[in-house]
């Protein structure tokens, strides 16, 4: 049930882990074992590199 809720974006990773009764790292392992890949949204590497250069020179 927790995997289904998580995979439909109805709950965060942490909330789905709580529903499953396991820790977040344990839930991540369960997802990997079941063949799920976690997609993380974020800035492109070029933008991150640019920001680092702006901050640190």
Per-residue pLDDT at 40 = 74
Per-residue pLDDT of the chain (57 residues; tens, 9 = 90+): 999 999 998 999 999 999 999 999 999 999 999 999 877 788 999 999 999 999 998
**How many other C-beta atoms lie within 10 A of the C-beta of residue 28?**
15
Pick the closest to residue 18 from 6, 35, 34 (CA basis): 6
Most distant CA pair in the chain, distance: 48
CA distance 7 to 53: 36
Per-residue pLDDT at 8 = 92
């Amino acid at each position: 049930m927790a995997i289904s809720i998580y995979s439909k974006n109805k709950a965060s990773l942490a909330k789905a882990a709580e529903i499953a009764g396991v820790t977040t790292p344990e839930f991540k392992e369960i997802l990997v074992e079941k063949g799920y890949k976690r997609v993380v949204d974020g800035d492109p590497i070029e933008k991150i590199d640019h920001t680092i250069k702006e901050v640190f020179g």
